[in-house]
Amino acid sequence: MARSAPLLVASWCVVTLLAGFVDAAGLWVLNGIVTAITTWTKSGQAAGVYPWLAGLVATFVGEQLIQTFLPYLRERVRIASGYALQSTALKQMGQLSVEAFEHDQTHDLISRVAAGADRRGPELIGDLLDALMLLPTLIVSTVALGYVALWLPVIVIAGQLMLMVYAERAGRVTRKFEVDFTAQQRLANYYADVLTTRTFAPELRLWRLRDEILNRWDRTISVFLDNKLRTSLSNVKGGFGAALGFALLAPGALIGVALLGATALPGIAAVVLISLRNVTAGIYQVQNALMRFAKNVGFANDVRLLLNGMETQARKHDDVAAISSTATAPNAREAGAISFPRPIRSALSLRNITYRYPGAERDSLSNINLEIKPGEIIAVVGPNGAGKTTLASLLVGLRRPTSGVCTIDGIDLAKLSPEDIYQNCAAVFQQPNRYPSSIGDNICLGEPRTLTSTSAAMDTVGLNHRAFGADDLLSPEFGGIDISGGEWQRISIARALVRQNAQIIIFDEPTAALDPLAELELFSQFTELTRGRTTILISHRLGPTRLADRIVVLDGGRVVEQGSPAELRKSGGLFTSMYEAQAGWYR
């Protein structure tokens, strides 16, 4: 955080420490002015009072200026460092592997970091500085008590240490609650989103689910809040004895000194009384600052875990097994001189590939051996859950096999940087993301946008004939227009087509939301559109598979058939059964 705004943080530290010394100087001035006034009363000479009055005014003005300026400095640091931390954290979150998002611990970690990124970092330094700001005053005040009796500071210091130990423990308890109940809070936030966002609105109303979801939110948030209150009550109980003991200890000790007949000069007496007030008030401020600091140290650990590489945990039955998950795959420099082949000359190969999802009890893919030639169109078909999308994810580096190796021209994909792989791949997913931007920006997202490329892509997928243009803003939530699911699907297809560098392209149910005529229009151009690119077509509609050079049939995570469309239609195997069953609906 200090690196993001070094001058501001340094200024904050200097001004905070200056505030502490000004407060401590106030005790010295108080001693002088009380003594001077006492002398004036006895001798009638007022000249000795004026310098101390000037000192009193100076400390008062200094204190007010510092206390006025400190909130501004704190806010400047909060904004500068909060933005830097948010930016860094979001960048790192964007580099997490796909597998990382299949662990609830990853979502918990992201939730805690995201929730505190704009304030927890500055609070961490602020709490430490608040404690340091009070330190000079506490030291001077404690020493001042020694003017009455040397053993009095010892008692006060012991009480201070007792409260500090409590504060550190309370901070750890609060931090533990935050970690243990992050998932509960996320679930409550999810139910709140269901009740308040456009995506869920139609189904929520049609199925009259509002009361049910509201009840679930109520039960979830109640558990969270009950445990939060229980944690707070535990901290209060734990600190009550220490706080009461300290509140009675210091004044009691001072009363004991008085009963023993100790005396002090008026100035010293005033300083001692003010010191006692400073100690009792200041130690509670330090205690609260240390409590927040101990809690925020946990946030710093979360950030460190996210930024330096994380380990997520997968729960299987009642056991918790640590699964090492690379937060970010190696970048291009770490990957050495190896780069993605351009063009692909040999093949994209899968050798003895097995893949099991985190926490799953069986493999999604088992012993897959497949070789895809450059420019070849491969159709991947099979029943639901056969592993088709999982296979496609492995081919474009979104997932890494549990065992086996995936290579491109003999190079293990694991040795290439993810960014290098992604630059050479494109995909049309079953449920493409919808971005609140213009149609043209949605199409050219991540690619240079030109009028020619945007118009050509829109024309290819039939969007130029619609009642909207490339600059029309989408998403009613942000003041844009609404379009149909089929039109969003067209935008997704156009997005894949404008990616000129893509040597491998995945079409995962690309026409699921299109009407039959639009689907026919697209597939009539399919061979031309994918010319020169290695293409993987995943489809439950088997008609378009005739465009493929080869069909791979998956069942139960295994390759059960592969061959040309003509060969498989006559094979009498699973593909024939599926093809005949589907064709029967059209006879």
Look at residues 257, 288, 310 and tell me which one is the last residue of a structural domain. 310
Helix (H) or strand (E) holding 584: none
Claim to verify: residue 116 and residue 251 sit in the same structural domain: yes
State whether residue 426 is helix, strand or coil. Answer: strand
What's the length of the chain? Answer: 587
Does a structural domain hold residue 526?
no
Place of tokens 């809070």: 185
Does a structural domain hold residue 205?
yes
Instruction: Give which of 114, 18, 126, 113 is closest to 76, Cα–Cα.
Output: 126
Does a structural domain hold residue 259?
yes
Query: What is the distance between the alpha carbons of residues 339 and 337, in angstroms, rounded to a whole number?
Result: 6
What CATH code is carried by the domain that includes residue 187?
1.20.1560.10
Domain that holds residue 468: 434-500
Ramachandran sector of residue 479 (left: φ over 0; alpha: ψ -120 to 50; beta: rest): left
pTM over 0.75: no
Q: What are phi and psi of 444, to 5 degrees?
A: -100, 20
Predicted local confidence at residue 217, as pLDDT:
94
Cβ atoms of 118 and 314 closer than 8 Å: no
Query: What is the distance between the alpha carbons of residues 587 and 580, in angstroms, rounded to a whole number?
Result: 10
Higher pLDDT, 564 or 41: 564
Claim to verify: residue 296 and residue 440 sit in the same structural domain: no
Look at residues 458, 485, 500 and tell me which one is the last residue of a structural domain. 500
Does a structural domain hold residue 107?
yes
Does a structural domain hold residue 422?
no
Does a structural domain hold residue 534?
no
Three-state SS across 214-231? HHHHHHHHHHHHHHHHHH
Cβ atoms of 328 and 95 closer than 8 Å: yes
Distances (CA, A) of 198 to 191, 193, 481: 13, 9, 13
Look at residues 280, 310, 340 and tell me which one is the last residue of a structural domain. 310
Cβ atoms of 420 and 498 closer than 8 Å: no
Token pair for residue 516?
Answer: 């039959």
Highest mean pLDDT among 62-76, 257-271, 279-293, 492-506: 492-506
Predicted local confidence at residue 2, as pLDDT:
56
Does a structural domain hold residue 353?
no
Non-local (6+) Cβ contacts of 461 within 8 A are 490, 491, 493, 494, 497, 522
Please name every residue paired with 319 in a beta bridge, in sequence order, or none if there are none.
Answer: 316
Predicted local confidence at residue 360, as pLDDT:
86
Please name every residue paired with 474 in a beta bridge, in sequence order, or none if there are none.
Answer: 481
pLDDT interval class at 324 (50, 70, 90): very low
**Structural domain total, the chain:** 2
Q: What are phi and psi of 66, to 5 degrees?
A: -65, -45
Q: pLDDT tens, 32-89?
A: 777 776 766 666 666 667 787 788 788 878 878 887 887 888 778 777 777 777 788 8
Q: Please say if the pLDDT value at position 316 is more than 90.
A: no
Q: pLDDT tens, 6-25?
A: 777 778 778 877 877 777 77
Claim to verify: residue 25 and residue 159 sit in the same structural domain: yes
Does a structural domain hold residue 405?
no
What single string gives the DSSP state of each residue in 91-119? Answer: HHHHTS-GGGGGSHHHHHHHHHHHHHTTT
Q: Please say if the pLDDT value at position 122 is more than 80.
A: no
Claim to verify: residue 133 and residue 281 sit in the same structural domain: yes
